[in-house]
């Protein structure tokens, strides 16, 4: 049985695959379904976006589907960009555009605390099976640090380690990231489904 990861983002697919494939799951991304429509992520919360994406893709592709949505919440910016993290610098913006906007807006702030939160939703064509959250506390750096990762990885440092995700190896990031924590929370549900197939 294949598990569909509802994304065309190769960075995200790789990150999730590195955790699930060693546990025996067969993973496919949305590129395996080129004719499937794009999901409009128009909900007000990451949980609602993840559920919408998981259910629509499970129904469109006819298989168990895992979807996630992530928000970056910066205290000094009243929680922005929040659910709009992916398009913080505008529609069609790049990772670098978003990083630059965050750094620019934070120039005059001493409080650099922030947290990343991921909602992970699992659905079958019949409905939502489970939704889990993963959260990591940290802070926005004053400059880009490290050359790995994607998204906000060079400007978000994990409080526990004092390093940005971009300064970590894939293995290190997958031990502490918000997405990894959400994934580990939903893993027992996935394993139970797999065992019952």
Catalytic residues, by residue number, are 69
**180 touches 128 (CB < 8 A):** no
Which 8-state DSSP code applies to residue 123? Answer: E
Sign of CA dihedral 187, 194, 7, 39: negative
Torsion of CA 15, 37, 26, 62, to 10 degrees: 150
Residues 36/61, Cβ–Cβ less than 8 Å? yes
In 145-171, which positions are buried (b, 16+ CB within 10 angstroms) versus exposed (e)? bbeebebbbbbbbbeeeebbbbbbeee
29: helix, coil or strand?
A: strand
| Burial of 79 per CB tally in 10 Å (0-12, 13-18, 19+) | middle
DSSP assignment letter at 39 = P
What distance in Å separates the CA atoms of residue 85 and residue 100, rounded to the nearest whole number? Answer: 13
């Amino acid at each position: 049985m294949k598990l569909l990861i509802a994304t065309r983002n190769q960075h995200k697919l790789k990150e999730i695959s590195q955790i699930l494939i060693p546990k025996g799951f067969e993973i496919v991304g949305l590129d395996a379904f080129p004719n499937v429509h794009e999901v409009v992520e128009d909900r007000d919360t990451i949980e609602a976006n993840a559920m919408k994406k998981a259910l629509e893709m499970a129904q469109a592709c006819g298989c168990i589907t895992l979807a996630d949505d992530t928000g970056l919440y910066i205290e000094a910016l009243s929680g922005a960009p929040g659910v709009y993290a992916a398009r913080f610098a505008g529609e069609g913006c790049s990772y670098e555009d978003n990083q630059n906007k965050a750094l620019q807006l934070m120039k005059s702030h001493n409080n650099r605390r922030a947290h990343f939160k991921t909602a992970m939703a699992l659905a079958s064509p019949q409905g939502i099976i489970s939704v889990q959250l993963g959260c990591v506390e940290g802070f926005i750096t004053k400059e880009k640090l490290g050359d790995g990762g994607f998204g906000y990885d060079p400007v978000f440092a994990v409080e526990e380690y004092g390093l940005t995700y971009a300064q970590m190896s894939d293995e290190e990031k997958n031990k502490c990231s918000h997405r990894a924590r959400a994934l580990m929370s939903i893993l027992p549900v996935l394993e139970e489904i797999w065992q019952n197939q």
